[in-house]
Structures are given as structure tokens and as C-alpha cells.
Structure 1
Amino acid sequence: MSSEMKKLNVLMCGTGEYTTGWTGSGASKSDKKIGVVGLTLFDLRRLGKVEKLGMVGTNGSKFPAIRKHLDENIAQVYTDMDTTFDAFPEGAVVDPEAYKAAIDKMSAGDAVVIFTPDSTHYPIALYAIERGIHVLVTKPAVQLLAHHNDLVAAAKKHNVVCFVEHHKRFDPVYSDARARAASLGEFNFFSAWMSQPKSQLETFRAWAGRDSDISYYLSSHHIDIHCWIMQDKAIPTRVTASAATGIATSEPYNCVPQTEDTITLLVDWQSLSSSKHKGTAVYTASWTAPMKSGVHSAQHWYYMAEKGEINVDQAHRGYDIVNDESGKAWYNPFYMKYSPSESGHFDGQRGYGYVSIEKFVDAARSVNAGLTTPADFDSHGLPTIANTVLTTAILHAGRISLDEKRPVNIKRSNDEWILE
């Protein structure tokens, strides 16, 4: 199959922690010290799936430090790893719209991977799609339901692949749980918790509370997993939100006054096969968790249905390590593997952070070769833009509920999901 498939040219939008592992204050101190996106694409280039790579940010003066960081931590650590890429904007230039010049240099059938602040996803994705370029956008895809509907229509019109990078779908535990949920009958109750330590408020101070909130940023993971489990079985109908405040806006974080610490969404669900079966779900996310709890992301969820229940704790996997200096820590070996293979090569191809990006690259190449159409992936249970619309509907409804202090209904109208 690969003989028919051409290598894919990819532009990475966003130069931050998830792409490069580099933050404004140096190498990230989180569990993504050398990033995920750049590392994965450099490896996919080594393996012959990707050709030209570019990277676009808003500030060209960051690139020398980023190149040095990638060279020292990737090129010099792994065998045969080439970390070269074209940078936009070049030199000491600050240009919030540099992505346009970068995308303008691309051809239809190339691909863009977007890991930028939430409020910028929509304009960048639309700009790329309208030029016939395949798009992988990090979660939350967009903040407004109308924008999500626009991207669904644009991707269909321009016949491109548009995926949302919901990597939790490729976590072996989550995908196994989804398969088992199918035999448990009608849905009844779902509860999810996801948090990150207060140190994240330092990392995200530039946009926390200003451009987005913790519900969009973190709850998007578990809301998508629940929507995926419920696909074609039940739909969300009403969202009521509640928030805790006071930590992010105080010393030493001093986030903007409207920043919430913890956000909870209460969501009503309606079965599609039985009018009498209704379910309820509670999704909570926080970025004010304790600093030394031993995990970067605390994450667990509980699913109860007519004939059974599922309990998933993805922070504590029966695997913990104690270090004299930092104490006890629980690691997630399924996400990314950074230790090299026996031959010194990168060895993380089975991590779900990697798989998520590779599935998109494979889909784009397959469509370019005429072997599949973008619509084919909607039926594969993959996080396509069309398959993830209800995740955005719930998140957007939650934001309106917080701002307007009222419940928000989710409805279907003329083949489109709307809020009222």
C-alpha cells in the first residue's frame, strides 16, 4: 500500500510545550519534556511517511532556542533523527498571522497540525481547509458550536481530512472500556474528574481565563470519551455549569479576574432507542490541584449502565516510582515512551500520543492516494470533525451556562446541532 502513497508534507502550527517541549522559560517541566508533535513527525519522516516539515509560531526570535533544544534533546539522543524544519516567521519578527504566509507556501493535499491557544484554532483550521489542506487540530477543536459546524461543512466541501486530536481514544484502556460498555445496555450515569497541578497556571498564564477555560482545556478529554461511548446510542440535551474560583486569581498566579479554578458540567442525556431511558453525567476539570500529588494529570471516570459499571483510574495504573527528592510518582507508560530502543532509535511508536498523530498522517496519505475518502473515517470511530460535534456542543453550552447563569439546551435543527 505504501508504494502508492506519497509522503506527506506537514506544517506544525504552534511552537509550545506540546509541539517542541519548549516553553518561554526553557524546557518544559511537565511530562512532555521534549514534546509530542515534533518528535512524532520527525520519527514519521525517518520511517518514510512524512517529507517536508515546517513550524510556525508568532515570534521568530524563539526559533534559535527551539532548534538548539530539539538538537540537544532529540537529534543527539536518538539514532538517525533529523530535526530540521522550515520556520515561520523568520528572524526577530512578531506576526500573529504568520500561519497565513506558511500555509500559502503549501499545496493542496499537504497537512497542518494545530497546537495553538484554543481561541486561534478556528481561523487557522478554516484557512487551511479552504486551501485543500488536511487538518489535525488539538482539542477543544473550537470554542463555539457554530464554528465547529462551519469546519464540518468546509472539510466536506473541500474533500479534506479534518481530525480532532483526541488522543485518549487511542489509550488502550479507554478504547477497551468503550468496547465493553457496548454490552451493558442503556446508559444511566457517568462521572469524570481531570486535574492538573497549580504549576500549569504558570505555563498557561498568557491565556488562562482570558482566551479559554479549564473545562475546554481538560474536560474536553473525558467529554469526548463519553460522547464516543454514546455515539448513535444517546444524545446530550441540557447542560448546567458550576465553577469554583479564588486560587488562580490570587498570589502567586494572578490570573485575570474571570479565571475559574474548577468547572463542573451537569449534563442530561436521552437514549435514542428508548424514550424512557435518560442518563446524567458530571464532568469536572481543575487546574488548581496540589503540586506534589505524584501525577501530572489526575484522571478517572466512572460509567454506570443498565447491566453493569466501568471504573477507570488512568492516573494510578498499579505502577509507581519513589525518588528521594520528589517522593512518590505514578507514571503513564502508555502515552509516550522517551527511552531509546536497543539500536538507539526512538521507540515510542506504540504510545497513544504518537498513534493519534500517525492515524491522521495515514488518513491524509490514503485520501491523497485515492484509496479512501474523508467521509470513510467518520464510520471508523475516529475523532473526525463530524464525529466530535457534540463534545463542542457540551463545552460551549457549559461556557454559556457559566456566563449567563442558566441551563442551556442542545437541539438538532435542520441537520445541525444548535444551543438555546
Structure 2
Amino acid sequence: MTSDLSKLNVLMCGTGEYTTGWTGSGASKSDKKIGVVGLTLFDLRRLGKVDHLGMVGVNGKKFPAIRQHLAENIGGVYKDMDLTFDEFPKGGSVDPEAYKAAIDELKPGDAVIIFTPDSTHYDIAIYAIERGIHVLVTKPATQLLSHHNELIAAAKKHSVVCFVEHHKRFDPVYSDAKARAASLGEFNFFNAWMSQPKSQLETFRAWAGKDSDISYYLSSHHIDICCWILQDIAYPTRVVASAATGIATSDPYNCVPQTEDTITLLVDWQSIKSPKHRGTGVYTASWTAPLKAGVHSAQHWYYMAEKGDINVDQAHRGYDITVDDTGKTWYNPFYMKYSPSESGHFDGQRGYGYISIEKFIDAARSVNAGRAQPSDYDKHGLPTIANTVLTTAILNAGRISLDEKRAVGIKKDGDQWLLE
């Protein structure tokens, strides 16, 4: 029974596509038209797990449009959805540091969920953790390995739950593949591809190439899956990166000159148990894929080991729909289900986008009730801040490799991972 667990107060940091389904140019045109975070939390409040909600952005002028968007697309679609939340910054003001005032209104044991540009994750997360607040931060947790290590230490010191929102770990196909990989012996080769259409450059123009890159944004998914599969099998030792350019920086996107189109990371892996076994990982991500390709995110990977291989295509799931106006589309109902239940309520509780957030809410409530310690979750294969450090190590090494045109080593010093 969970009746003795107190409800969790949650602050949503970031008011964009993933939180609300609302972007700078209006309602999102992607597969997240009504968002994920806000919708999930409104439903978890209906189910008695969440209590007071807040939402903080930079520009308070957006809130009237966001509230109207949520009222029409969530309140007007699902029964019994309480859409109330406190907004920051208040009074339609603009404040890049509004998250501080918002977090200051929380109490220890409350939670924040961070979906903001990558370059802001560390500042918001450390501010919350140091005040005893549980944190769920979207991937990549941080851009720098040093910052990731600091979050691990801070979460341990303040005894709070800190998860990274690597929702792919809750995709039933990916989690099943991880379990099967355990019996395939030594690792040999992994190849991952993930892309989104060029229209994303319009959605992300405010930060693309300035605050982050496509490798941090997209490859973080499959690099984490590979690190998760190899958690007790192998560890990364060296990263070399290569990038394609020219599309994002040209008409009509005109991103800043340093914006890459497609980034590939080549990673050497060393077996933990066998000195002679080494593997290779190749992780490619692009945000200049064709428009109207039928999927929002093309995503597939191949894993080969000593005794077998695994081939996963999560863009084409044997489920496609053709419409006169738009052509053929491959949908992913396993991620978020937006159609209401028979009773008219939200019905997406089994989607892995929802589960990823609910797992964090459940962990924070259990720790608040004294039923668990934050460190317990490191043992369960969940994407805790400690369990995701090698994903950040590889991504950070890739960025250095591109900027400095060299290979970057990864090594362990005591119990901490460092870059060479």
C-alpha cells in the first residue's frame, strides 16, 4: 500500500515543447504536441501521487498562451484534470534566474524536473540539490564530466534522489534487449543512428550550435543505452569525433557558424573481465534528416557480442498509417498515448515517457517516507546521476575531440571518471 506516502510538490523547470507542448513559434508540430512532463504530472496529481505544481521559465509573458494551450488540449480533452500551477517569473517579467526564486519557495523533500537548454542543467540542479530538493534532469545531465561528478557528490551529501530522464531505458524493447545482451558474452561492436528532421532547427534555433550540439541532444539516448548494456561488461577508454556541416548554417535555417549537422563519435571499449577483449562503439546523431520521412526520430542500433547480436529499429515498429494529405507515418504508441480511456481520462500511464517520470516521483516519495535511501536506486539499473556518468564522459570527450581535433582518453581515478 502507498497510502502512507505523502504527496510530492514538484516544480517544472522549462516551459517548452517537452514540458507543455508549446514552443516559441506556437504549438509544437512534433510528436509531443501537448508535451510530456506537464501532462504526466497533472495525471499523477489526479492519481494522488503529486500535490502542488509550479512552472518556471525565463519569459513570464508566455504563460497566458501556455495556460490557454493546456486548457484546450489537456483540460478540454481529458476528464478530471486539475491544471493549476504557480508560475515564475511572475507578472509577465523576463528573468533568466527565475528558477532561484521558484526553488526558494520549495521545502526540502520537494522535487524539481529540469527540461531546459543543456547549458543550464548544472546550475539549476546544483541549486536545488544543495537545498535538499530531489532532482530529475533531462539528458544530457550536464555537458561537462566535472559538473556531473559534482552532482553525484552533492546528491550523496544532501541525501536526495537525482535521476537523469533517460526514458529509453523504460522502452520495453530496449530493456528486453539489455537483458538478452547479458547472455551474449564479451562485447564487440555497437552502431547507433538517431536523427530528427531539419524542421527541428527552427524549433531549436535559439540554442542550436550556441548552447549545445546534436550529439548531446540526441546521441545521449543511445550512448546511455550502450553504457547501460555494458555496465558490468566493459568501460570506455578513448573517443574520437567527426562532424558534417553546411546545412544548418545555410538558408533557411541560418544557425550560428559553429553548428554541426551530423556528429559521429567513435569509442573504444575495454572488457572488464578479459584483457584481450576490446570493443568499438559508433554513435551518430543528426538534426538535418529529410522532412516528411514518416517518423519524427529515426532511431536504430546494432549490438554484436561474442555469442550473438541484437538489431533494433525503434522508428518502424510494424505500425504505419497513411493519410491523403500527409502520406505515410510510423507512430510510436509505446512512448506516449494521447487518446483518452473509455471513461474519458488520460490513458497513457504505460507509455515509457510517462513511466520515466513516475519512477522518479515514486523514488522521491519513498525516500521522503524513510522507506529507501537514495543510494538504493543505484543498484537497480535506474538512470541515477551515479549510473549515468559514463554517458556524460563520452559526450564531453566527443565535444573536446571536435573542438581540439584530437582523441580524448577516459580513465578512472579512484572512484571518479576523468578525461585525459
Q: Specify if TM > 0.5.
A: yes
Q: Tell me the SS of whatever aligns to 1:91.
A: helix
Which residue does the alignment assign to 2:306? Answer: 306
1:344-399 residue CA offsets vs partner (Å, 9 max, x unmatched):
00000000000000000000000000000000000000000000000000000000
Which residue does the alignment assign to 2:32? Answer: 32
Per the TM alignment, residue 4 of structure 1 is displaced from its structure 2 partner at its CA by 1.8
Which residue does the alignment assign to 1:351? Answer: 351
Alignment of 1:51-90 (within 5 A): 51-90=51-90
The alignment status of 1:418 with 2:418, answered yes or no, reads yes
Which residue does the alignment assign to 2:224? Answer: 224
Which residue does the alignment assign to 2:244? Answer: 244
Which residue does the alignment assign to 1:48? Answer: 48
Q: Tell me the SS of whatever aligns to 1:363.
A: helix
Which residue does the alignment assign to 2:271? Answer: 271
Per the TM alignment, residue 414 of structure 1 is displaced from its structure 2 partner at its CA by 2.4
The alignment status of 1:138 with 2:138, answered yes or no, reads yes
1:190-232 residue CA offsets vs partner (Å, 9 max, x unmatched):
0000000000000000000000000000000000000000002
Which residue does the alignment assign to 2:159? Answer: 159
Which residue does the alignment assign to 2:2? Answer: 2
Per the TM alignment, residue 91 of structure 1 is displaced from its structure 2 partner at its CA by 1.6
Q: Tell me the SS of whatever aligns to 2:123.
A: helix
Per the TM alignment, residue 92 of structure 1 is displaced from its structure 2 partner at its CA by 2.0
Amino acid at match of 2:143: Q
Amino acid at match of 1:180: R
- Gaps spanning 5+ residues in structure 2: where? none
Which residue does the alignment assign to 1:198? Answer: 198
1:26-84 residue CA offsets vs partner (Å, 9 max, x unmatched):
11000000000000000000000000000000011100000000001001110001111
Per the TM alignment, residue 158 of structure 1 is displaced from its structure 2 partner at its CA by 0.1
Higher deviation after alignment, 385-394 or 75-84: 75-84
Amino acid at match of 2:309: E
Distance 1:92 1:67 in 2: 13
RMSD over aligned Cα, in angstroms?
Answer: 0.4
Distance 1:177 1:100 in 2: 41
Alignment of 1:122-137 (within 5 A): 122-137=122-137
Which residue does the alignment assign to 2:297? Answer: 297
Which residue does the alignment assign to 2:106? Answer: 106
Of all paired residues, the percent bearing the same amino acid is: 84
Instruction: Count residues with an aligned counterpart.
Output: 420
The alignment status of 1:91 with 2:126, answered yes or no, reads no
1:295-344 residue CA offsets vs partner (Å, 9 max, x unmatched):
00000000000000000000000010001011011000100000000000
Distance 1:258 1:39 in 2: 35
Distance 1:246 1:326 in 2: 28
Per the TM alignment, residue 266 of structure 1 is displaced from its structure 2 partner at its CA by 0.2
Distance 2:125 2:91 in 1: 25
Distance 1:189 1:26 in 2: 42
Distance 1:406 1:243 in 2: 13
Per the TM alignment, residue 87 of structure 1 is displaced from its structure 2 partner at its CA by 0.2
Which residue does the alignment assign to 1:207? Answer: 207
Q: Tell me the SS of whatever aligns to 2:318.
A: coil
Distance 2:92 2:334 in 1: 39
The alignment status of 1:179 with 2:179, answered yes or no, reads yes
Q: Tell me the SS of whatever aligns to 1:239.
A: strand
Q: Tell me the SS of whatever aligns to 2:275.
A: coil
Which residue does the alignment assign to 2:377? Answer: 377
Question: Structure 1 stretches (4+) deviating beyond 2 angstroms?
Answer: none
Distance 1:386 1:92 in 2: 38
Distance 1:173 1:415 in 2: 32
- Gaps spanning 5+ residues in structure 1: where? none
